[in-house]
Structure 1
Amino acid sequence: MPRPTPPSNVRQADESRPHPAHEPEGRALRRGLLLLEAVQRSGEAGARVADLCRALALERATVYRLLATLIDCGHVQRQGRWHYVAAPAAQLRGARQLSDIASEMAQRLAPVLARVSAGCGDAAFAVVREGHSAWCVARHIGSYPVQILAVQVGSRQPLGVGAAGLALLAAMPEAEARAAIGAHGDALARYGGMTVERLRILVRSTRERGWSVVGNHAVKGVLGVGRALCDADGLPLAGISVAASMDRMTRQRQQAIAALMHEALAGA
């Protein structure tokens, strides 16, 4: 006899959902990887279950279940009574994997940045996600006499303060985006007076528009336009952007650059 379907306005608690054995493999794997990332970001201090629940918007039962699996596989270990830290070997593997991903993405996006930069004349950038930060992995300088080199390859800044990072942030699942914005805290104020509320508005606008626009935050007097590169499931892999002076970035030109990036990313 089929299980009765609950009313549409009733949200089942996470622990009352189907047994983990019946949970879609992709979702379970993604949750596990996100949890491991969160533990790794906590560093030597470690993370409590309550912290992990808030960061990932998961129920305690789910977090405990995933932690048990990560401990069994040697990726996480308990520290004291309440905290969990990444096992030393897992920390090293995580750093190497992220470095490999960054290198591969830089190579993949190099022709995209070259095409975009050639089309608009301005510098183009590519970033990948590192925790709650945008990590610049590639840059291509354009032909326009005045180039705005907003960030250097290898630099990091909070997700959302630059156009590429904002595009990436807006493409993330809602729970992850909220957690990232909340984790920025006071660090945002150092970027042109950015605030949590301002960043939330920018994320909403980016999702409605399909591409990001942000100015006067990463660099004063500079405006950037960005788009995200997503996988087949719509999850973001990287963000690209073009930066130029505010007076050069008219609304019409912003739209033209966004269209150019869309075409260039289609073949990435």
Structure 2
Amino acid sequence: IMSIPSSASHSGKTPSGTQSVERAFAVLTAVATAHSSGTTLPALTQVVGLHRTTTYRLLKCLLRLGAVRVDVESTRYFLGPLALELGVSARQQLRLNELLAPVLTRIAEATGDTVFLVVRDGLESVCTDRRLGDYPVKTLIVDVGTRRPLGIGAASLAMLQVMTDKELKEIARANAGQFQSFGTTAAAVLKKARAAAKVGYVSAVVPGVEGVHAVALPIIDSQGKPFAALAVAAIEQRMSQSRQGELLRTIRSEVSRAERLLIKADIQAA
């Protein structure tokens, strides 16, 4: 059962940006609740508690974006392709986290360090899960849900390392403006990705977090595309060359398991 967000007041005042978003989501949620049979403008107006003209204006915007669609004959509203795509994407991420939860747990238990699952989403990477090891000093370098441009962070670089040079250049060019806010450039990201490709893994200090180092490996889907990456972060005193080798062997073993799970579940890169 879906709960309908409480709408704004019935006043005719121009809503703020946040209020407009809240109202649009109230309308979208109401359409989703009645998706099997569809719903009408009068019904939506009553459910969300807005003026008919306000509800219609929000529907027109949602229609234009593809979040809802209207059946011309019945004039009933249904969820549109965009909403359905978002739902599929969300379900896939939940499935991914569920499938790989044991993988993260095993790495954290074996290493004692912090483990991150980072997934590609277009030109961005998203941390979707994290596990803490039992070592007293925790390295919480990113929170679950953190989004960054593809190419920022060890796990993100690990995904780039297996891409073609053409793909690398396209991503670097598209994210060039955002790289600046992280204190780097497209050229620097390309250089790091190419260096990682030569050795087969990423080993790097964590930008903006003093004294922390991370190693990472990509997870490849059934189509040979980098889908996600696993990274382990620890304080630099625990990141000698020999220990990095141990960590990479542990991660590589679990990446192989993860890739088999993904193929079996038919989960692919976005």
2:188 aligned to 191, 198, 213, which one? 198
2:143 alignment partner, SS class: coil
RMSD across aligned C-alpha pairs, in angstroms?
1.9
Cα distance change on mapping 1:172 and 1:93 into 2, 3 Å? farther
Shift of 1:169: 2.1
- 1:261 maps to amino acid: I
Computing the radius of gyration over CA atoms, which structure comes out larger, 1 or 2? 2
Inter-CA distance 100–173: structure 2 relative to 1 (3 Å threshold): farther
Q: 1:177 to 1:218 in 2, by over 3 A?
A: farther
Separation (CA, whole Å) in 1 of partners of 2:160 and 2:122 = 11
1:215 to 202, 205, 216: 205
Partner of 1:238: 228
For structure 1, which runs of at least 5 residues remain unmatched after alignment? 1-84
Equivalent position of 1:105 in the other structure: 96
Structure 2 length-normalised TM: 0.63
Match of 2:83 in 1: 92
- Residues 60-110 of structure 1, C-alpha deviations (whole Å, 9 max, x = no match): xxxxxxxxxxxxxxxxxxxxxxxxx96443332332222122211111221
Contact 2:154 2:216 in 1 (8 A): yes
CA deviation after TM superposition for structure 1 residue 233, in Å? 3.4
CA distance in 1, matches of 2:123, 2:210: 22
CA contact (8 A) 1:222 1:246 kept: yes
CA distance in 2, matches of 1:222, 1:98: 32
Segments of structure 2 that go 5 or more residues without pairing to the other structure are 1-63, 68-79, 259-270
Out of 154, 178, 184, the position equivalent to 2:145 is 154
Look up the equivalent residue of 1:162 and give its one-letter code: G
1:221 is displaced (CA, Å) by: 2.9
Superposition deviation, residue 210 in structure 1: 1.1
Choose which of 242, 248, 263 in structure 1 pairs with 2:238.
Answer: 248
Q: What SS does the corresponding residue of 1:264 show, helix, strand or coil?
A: helix
CA spacing shift, 1:187–1:219, aligned 2, 3 Å: farther
TM-score (norm 1): 0.63
State the percentage of identical aligned residues. 31
CA distances 1:24-79 after superposition (whole Å, capped 9, x unpaired): xxxxxxxxxxxxxxxxxxxxxxxxxxxxxxxxxxxxxxxxxxxxxxxxxxxxxxxx
What is the alpha-carbon distance in structure 2 between the residues aligned to residue 206 and residue 214 of structure 1? 10
Q: How many pairs align? A: 183
Q: Give yes or no for contact 1:194–1:217 (8 Å, CA) kept in 2.
A: no
